[in-house]
Structures are given as C-alpha cells and as structure tokens.
Amino acid sequence: MSSAAISEQRHNSGYARNLARRARQVVTPEGIALPFTVASRGSRFGALLLDFFILYVGMALFFFLIIFLASSIPGVKDAKMSGPLEMLVVILFIGIFLARYGYFMFFELGPRGATLGKRATGIRVAARDGGRLTPSAILARNLIRDIELFMPLVFLQVAPSGEAGMAGIAAMLWFLIFMLFPFFNKDSMRAGDLIAGTWVVEAPKAKLQDTLTTHEAAAGKSSVANVQYKFSDEELSVYGEYELQTLERVLRDNVETSMVAVHETICTKIGWAPGAGDERAFLEAFYAQLRAKLEGDMRFGKRKADKFS
C-alpha cells in the first residue's frame, strides 16, 4: 500500500472517530429517537465570523445611507439638531439595536433554525430535548452573547493597558471563562446554550429521496404490500409543519428503528392499526400527502405550525 493511501486511510479513520465522538441520540417528546451530530467548534467559529461579516457590511451600508440622508437636511452643516436629523439619529440607534440582537433571533426563529453563517457552514440550532425551538430559548441564548463575546472583547482591549487596574484583569479573566465555555464541555455548548436548553448540530444538505416527490408516493402506492395509502383531511390535520420536518428527517436518516417508532406513533394518533414491514412506504405517503395539504392551506392563508396549533 502506498504512503498516500495509508495517509488517506488514517485521515478517514480519524474523521470517522471524530464523527463518532460528536454523535448523539435524542428522544423527542413524541417518543422518537433521532440521531444528531454536534457541530464542531471550528464550524461554529466559522459561522460566527461569516455572520459578523454580514452584519458589519450591512451596518456600514446602513450607516452610509443615514449620512447621505443627513447631508441633505438643511442646517446640518451648522451642527444644528433639527427634527428630521433627530429622527435619523433615532433610526440609527434602532438599526444598531436590531442588528445586534434581531439578526440572530430572526433567522434562528425561522424554520431552519440557522443564521446565514450557520447555513453556509451546514449547522443549525436545535433544542436538546428534541422538541421545537421556542422564542424564549432563542431570546435567552442570544441575550447571553453580551457577556460571552462582547464583554470579553472589551476587557481584552482595556485590561492589558493597566488603566482598569487589578479589577480590570479580574473582570477579563472572569468573562474569558464565558468566552471559552465551549471548550469546557463535550457538546461544545455556549453558556447561552446551557441556559436556553439548546445546542448547535450539523444540518447536512441531503435531499429527500426522489420517491417522495413522485405521484406514486403522493398517491400512497406501496411497492412492498399490495395496498394504497390514502389519508383523509381529518387524519392529516393532526400534525403540522414541525411534525412534517421531523418526519422528513426520519426519512432522510433512513434508520429502521426510528421509522418503525414513527410509523406506530402516527397510526396510533390517526386510529389506524399499525402493521409491519411496509413502514417506509406508509411514511412516504403520509409525508407527501401532509406536505401537499399544508402547502394548499398556506395558499389560503391558513398555517398550522404544529399539532398543538
């Protein structure tokens, strides 16, 4: 075996061990065991850099727009604070506030649970109990960012100069604990993740199998059993978008034990007698028909977020 082949084999072996160390399994509130892979610290750091680059570019453009608008206000060159100029200053501060807090919250509250930087690096935020991400959890993990990142950066600039004395050095060391918190636990969680009950996991860009978008899957034709799965609107109405996303993940992962558990859960929920041996065909048909129903309802302004809606 050549040295290049040996090197590649060692690399693949090390990569596999790394994935195994980051592999986790979470049981959802519905009793479904789902596999997750905790995002690496490198991918999280890369996502953070991308997000801050997007924020700073956006804020720079916004700032130049404010300056351009302010320059067209009469009397601004005489340093007179007129009503329109005061309004622009208020808008500027609101924009800074929304950029600092709103950017992360807006994207992480979306269906993907990920900012633009996280999407680019293939990771997302998820609830550690396998449930739905709640606004309170997203709010908590993002408000903590001040003491995790911004405050340590401030003290790293101030403390070494000695102007703040020993108190500044002590504060820098204290805030550095929060900044380096992801290195102190195996799940690479921030302090905000620990408080909010979240973590950051990999979100592979794999697509569903083609059968999910075919007419046969939508019509519920089974390739195993000689049956046709067709669900009524009442049966499909028991679930919403969150359950659809969970079912999509189960089908994508293609883990037999998870599909059996989900199949039994759905059958129990809609009052069917669960059989055996044709779970994937059943789930594909249910997924396709549930997706079609939810998309049809959305066209008429009706949206069902989850089974509790």
Question: Phi and psi (nearest 5°) for 115?
Answer: -75, 175
**Spans of the chain below 70 pLDDT:** 1-16, 18, 28-33, 74-82, 159-165, 167-168, 204-227, 299-301
pLDDT the model gives residue 216 = 44
pLDDT the model gives residue 186 = 87
The runs of H, that is alpha helices, within the chain are 3-22, 41-71, 83-97, 103-108, 116-121, 135-143, 145, 151-158, 165-179, 191-196, 215-219, 233-236, 241-253, 256-270, 279-299
* Cα→Cα distances 8→18, 19, 32, Å: 15, 16, 37
For 158, the token pair is 């101030």
Q: Tell me how far apart the alpha carbons of residues 307 and 206 are, in angstroms, rounded to a whole number.
A: 26
pLDDT the model gives residue 147 = 80
pLDDT the model gives residue 208 = 44
What is the tens place of the pLDDT at every residue in 30-75? 666 677 889 988 899 999 999 999 999 999 999 999 888 887 776 6
pLDDT the model gives residue 213 = 47
pLDDT the model gives residue 116 = 93
CB atoms within 10 A of CB 141: 27
pLDDT the model gives residue 7 = 53
Q: Tell me how far apart the alpha carbons of residues 171 and 250 are, in angstroms, rounded to a whole number.
A: 46
Sign of the dihedral defined by the CA atoms of residues 233, 238, 240, 243, in that order: negative
What is the tens place of the pLDDT at every residue in 3-30? 544 455 554 555 567 677 888 877 766 6
Q: Which of 90, 97, 92 is nearest to 66 (CA)?
A: 92
Residue recorded with tokens 């067209």? 72
Residue at 78: amino acid letter: D
CB contact at 8 A, 307 and 239? yes
Residues 6+ apart with CB under 8 A from 62: 92, 95, 99
CB contact at 8 A, 50 and 116? yes
pLDDT the model gives residue 299 = 65
